[in-house]
Structure 1
Amino acid sequence: MGSFIGHVLPGIAFYVFGLWHLFNNTKLHFQNKASFTTSAWFPTSRLRYLELILIIIGSSISVSMELFIGPRKHQPFDADGTIPSNHLRNFEHSSISMYFATYGILAILLDKSVQGSTLGDNNIANRMNSHLHDHVQGLTLLAASMCFGLELFSFHFHSTDHMGVEGQYHLLLQIVVVVSFATTLISVGLPGSFLVSYVRSVSIMCQGGWFIVMGYMLWTPELVPKGCMIHREDGHEIVRCSGEESLERAKSLVNIFFSWFLIGFTIGAILFYVGMVNCYSPKYYNNEITTGASAAYCCLPTKQEGCDEFEGEPLEHHIELQKKTRFVVGVACEGGNGVSNSKPMDDPKMEAIYAE
Structure 2
Amino acid sequence: MGTLVGHVAPGFGFLLIGLWHLFNHIKLHALNPKSYKGPSWFPSAKFRYIELVLIMVGSTASVAMELFIGPERHQPLDPDGTIPSNHLHNFEHSSISITFFLYAACAIILDRARVQAQFELTQLLGAIAFAQQLLLFHLHSADHMGPEGQYHLLLQILVFVSVSTALIGIVLPHSFLVNFVRSVSIFFQGLWLIVMGFMLWTPSLIPKGCYMNDEDGHMVVRCSSHEALHRAISLVNIEFSWFIIGVTVFAVSLYLVLVKVYGEKKVEYFSLGNEDEESNDDVESQKSGAFDHSSKSFIQVGKIFSQNDMER
TM-score (norm 2): 0.86
Secondary structure of 1:46 counterpart: coil
CA pair 24-316 structure 1, distance change in 2 beyond 3 A: farther
How far off its partner does 1:79 sit?
1.0
Alignment match, 2:106:
106
Q: In structure 2, how many angstroms separate the alpha carbons of the residues matched to 1:207 and 1:143? A: 18
After superposition, where does 1:288-327 map in structure 2 within 5 Å?
A: 289=267, 313-314=274-275
Question: Are positions 1:183 and 2:165 aligned together?
Answer: yes
Q: Do 1:38 and 1:193's aligned partners in 2 also have CA atoms closer than 8 Å?
A: yes
Q: Do 1:228 and 1:240's aligned partners in 2 also have CA atoms closer than 8 Å?
A: yes
Q: In structure 2, how many angstroms separate the alpha carbons of the residues matched to 1:163 and 1:13? A: 27
Question: Are positions 1:51 and 2:51 aligned together?
Answer: yes
After superposition, where does 1:209-224 map in structure 2 within 5 Å?
A: 209-224=191-206
Secondary structure of 2:214 counterpart: strand
Secondary structure of 2:222 counterpart: strand
Q: Do 1:160 and 1:167's aligned partners in 2 also have CA atoms closer than 8 Å?
A: no
Alignment match, 2:240:
258
* From 274, 285, 291, the counterpart of 2:265: 285
Alignment match, 2:226:
244
Q: In structure 2, how many angstroms separate the alpha carbons of the residues matched to 1:28 and 1:256? A: 35
After superposition, where does 1:145-164 map in structure 2 within 5 Å?
A: 145-164=127-146
After superposition, where does 1:66-77 map in structure 2 within 5 Å?
A: 66-77=66-77
Structure 1 residue identity aligned to 2:231? R
CA pair 277-85 structure 1, distance change in 2 beyond 3 A: same
Secondary structure of 1:237 counterpart: strand
Alignment match, 1:197:
179
Structure 1: 4+ residue segments shifted above 3 A:
313-317
Query: Which of structures 1 and 2 has the bigger CA Rg?
Result: 2
Structure 1 residue identity aligned to 2:223? C
Q: In structure 2, how many angstroms separate the alpha carbons of the residues matched to 1:187 and 1:172? A: 23
Alignment match, 1:268:
250
Q: In structure 2, how many angstroms separate the alpha carbons of the residues matched to 1:234 and 1:162? A: 15
How far off its partner does 1:225 sit?
0.3
Alignment match, 1:84:
84
1:234-277 Cα deviation digits (max 9, x unpaired): 11110011011111110011011110111110111111111112
Q: Which runs of 5+ in 1 are unaligned?
A: 118-131, 291-296, 303-312, 318-356
Q: Do 2:138 and 2:156's aligned partners in 1 also have CA atoms closer than 8 Å?
A: yes
Secondary structure of 1:285 counterpart: coil
Alignment match, 1:141:
123
Q: In structure 2, how many angstroms separate the alpha carbons of the residues matched to 1:200 and 1:86? A: 34
Q: In structure 2, how many angstroms separate the alpha carbons of the residues matched to 1:69 and 1:40? A: 32
Secondary structure of 2:265 counterpart: helix
Q: In structure 2, how many angstroms separate the alpha carbons of the residues matched to 1:68 and 1:11? A: 20
How far off its partner does 1:301 sit?
12
Q: Do 2:210 and 2:228's aligned partners in 1 also have CA atoms closer than 8 Å?
A: yes
How far off its partner does 1:316 sit?
8.8
Q: Do 1:169 and 1:254's aligned partners in 2 also have CA atoms closer than 8 Å?
A: yes
Alignment match, 1:207:
189
The root-mean-square deviation of aligned C-alpha atoms, in Å, is: 1.8
Q: In structure 2, how many angstroms separate the alpha carbons of the residues matched to 1:266 and 1:53? A: 29
Alignment match, 1:7:
7
Q: In structure 1, how many angstroms separate the alpha carbons of the residues matched to 2:272 and 2:46? A: 50
1:47-92 Cα deviation digits (max 9, x unpaired): 1101000100110010000001100011101111110000001001
Q: In structure 1, how many angstroms separate the alpha carbons of the residues matched to 2:200 and 2:128? A: 28
Alignment match, 1:326:
none
How far off its partner does 1:144 sit?
0.5
Structure 2 residue identity aligned to 1:160? A
Alignment match, 1:168:
150
Identity over the aligned pairs, expressed in percent?
A: 56
Q: In structure 1, how many angstroms separate the alpha carbons of the residues matched to 2:276 and 2:201? A: 72
How far off its partner does 1:285 sit?
2.8
Alignment match, 1:328:
none
CA pair 301-257 structure 1, distance change in 2 beyond 3 A: same
How far off its partner does 1:279 sit?
1.1
Structure 2 residue identity aligned to 1:191? P
Q: In structure 1, how many angstroms separate the alpha carbons of the residues matched to 2:52 and 2:253? A: 28
How far off its partner does 1:142 sit?
0.8
Higher relative contact order (CA 8 A, sep 6+): 2
Q: In structure 2, how many angstroms separate the alpha carbons of the residues matched to 1:215 and 1:40? A: 29
Corresponding residue pairs, total: 278
Q: Which runs of 5+ in 2 are unaligned?
A: 279-312
Alignment match, 2:30:
30
Q: Do 2:27 and 2:259's aligned partners in 1 also have CA atoms closer than 8 Å?
A: no
Alignment match, 2:62:
62
TM-score (norm 1): 0.75
